[in-house]
Amino acid sequence: MIEETEEFINLQKELLRHKFLYYIENKPEISDYDFDMLERSSYEIAKTLGFNADKFDDPQENEVHHVHWMIGYKEGSKYEN
């Protein structure tokens, strides 16, 4: 369980970073497909850890409820890898 928790935390940081680069900086580093695969991994780990995660079938539908929703992300913050 500890390994999943650490993996989940690191994945959330990575997702936040990619969202920041995509939405704020307009400089994506990965493809949409690769981002979707990270989201899928996030969803699977979230289920394992007992989070009430959204269905992955339509991540756009409930974006504000995702466990990794970007809140106050800034480079150099504790969310950065």
CB–CB of 39/59 below 8 Å? yes
CB–CB of 28/17 below 8 Å? no
CATH fit for domain 2-65, picks 3.30.70, 2.40.50, 1.10.287, 3.40.50: 1.10.287
pLDDT at 49: 86
Q: How far is CA 69 from the centre of its chain?
A: 7
Higher pLDDT, 76 or 79: 76
pLDDT at 35: 95
pLDDT in tens, 59-70: 554 454 444 444
Q: How far apart are CA 70 and CA 12, in angstroms?
A: 9
pLDDT in tens, 13-53: 999 999 999 988 999 999 999 999 999 998 888 888 887 66
Q: How far apart are CA 81 and CA 79, in angstroms?
A: 7
pLDDT at 48: 86
pLDDT at 55: 56
